[in-house]
Amino acid sequence: MYTKKVYKARDMVRWTRFETILFFSIVTAVTALYYFLDLQWLKFPWTPLALIGTAVAFVIGFQNNSAYGRIWEARKIWGGIVNTSRTFGMFVQDMVSNDKGLANVSKEEMQYEIKKLTYRHIAWMTALRHAMRASKPWETVLQEKSNREWSHIVHPPEWDSEVGEDLKPYLSEKDLEYVMSKNNKQTAILYLQSHHLKQLKDQGMIWEFSFLQLEGVLEELFTLQGKSERIKNFPYPRHFATLNHYFMWIFVLLLPLAIVPQFAEIGKTISEVQPFFGDLFIWLSIPFYAAVAWIFHTMERIGRTGENPFEGSANDVPISTIARGIEIDLRQNLGETNEEIPDQFPMMYDTQM
């Protein structure tokens, strides 16, 4: 049975296997040309290559830091959604009441209004996560073959359902029709929440101060929604990402023209003492080059997979799991049983979506 570390190492090898095969093919071809045809002129000086490698390393480091910053910011935003959602659920249950005796409604009617507000908030999270999973032209990670293979195994639940179907359990037919007619469905739902709260205030079911508090929570939800949409709709600058990708490949393709001749020269020195081993020493450049090229390429690729934290890759912020966790909390606090509440989305290969 594989341990987690061994399993993840195996997944990393599988994830990069096409590029690894390519690296071995490139360096084997160069080594064979150098060894069998004695092409002594087939070399590239180390000084300019070292300068290129240094520049590529700096740019890859900058890209990875920027990508991690986007992921971490997205996680903080959805952490804020968690806290604000729990606050909203608490406020609704305590502030929708008839303590002042202004509304002539029964306890059952108040519970109905509380449930309606809570369910509409769950609908807002559902619409928001669907919007975050919508494909954008600059989201290209899943165009790579190995990433597509992985997406067949692990992918967000939004890919398997339509937003309208997922909203049905939480909205009335009238509200659903209104929301589905809008481009920004999550914004439309918050508008409905505000209209509903004002209606309850006018009926005397919410005190004036409580209404202002609840409107403040909706304002915070709008702020968090806008921050999440900003990350989704503003990509990592393409001139950085594209040039970095090209620079990396220039370095990787030129690298064997410097490594192979270097190993050949070392082999000639060894031949003075060990002729057989010295003659074959040049072939050790193959694993050495493959390791260096793999490291540079994989680090650059990791940066690209983190540029868009809602794209749907295994490295995304698990907004589906977060939203479902909030839903479970809110509905449990409404008094619903576990049989009435949907299960958490399953974790696959230690990955939450």
Q: pLDDT tens digits, residue range 94-130?
A: 888 776 656 677 788 889 999 999 999 999 999 999 9
Element (H, E) at 244: helix 238-254
Between 147-151, 215-219, 245-249, 271-275, the lowest mean confidence (pLDDT) is in: 147-151
- If one counts every other C-beta atom within 10 angstroms of the C-beta of residue 130, the result is 23
Q: Please say whether the beta carbons of 93 and 244 come within 8 A.
A: no
CA atoms of 123 and 207, how far apart (whole Å): 25
**Structure confidence at residue 2 (pLDDT):** 34
**Structure confidence at residue 91 (pLDDT):** 94
**Structure confidence at residue 8 (pLDDT):** 63
**Structure confidence at residue 76 (pLDDT):** 96
**Structure confidence at residue 159 (pLDDT):** 87
**Structure confidence at residue 10 (pLDDT):** 73
Q: Tens digit of pLDDT for each residue in 122-139? A: 999 999 999 999 988 887
**Structure confidence at residue 350 (pLDDT):** 67
Angle in degrees, CA 180, 185, 191, rounded to 5 = 110
> Torsion angle of alpha carbons 36, 42, 46, 52, nearest 10°?
-120
Q: Is pLDDT above 60 for 3?
A: no
Q: Please say whether the beta carbons of 121 and 330 come within 8 A.
A: yes
Q: Tens digit of pLDDT for each residue in 47-60? A: 888 999 998 998 88
Element (H, E) at 269: helix 256-271
**Structure confidence at residue 245 (pLDDT):** 84
Report the percent of the chain where pLDDT is more than 70: 94
**Nearest Cα to Cα of residue 70 among 309, 351, 267, 250:** 309
Q: Please say whether the beta carbons of 15 and 150 come within 8 A.
A: yes
Report the percent of the chain where pLDDT is more than 90: 50
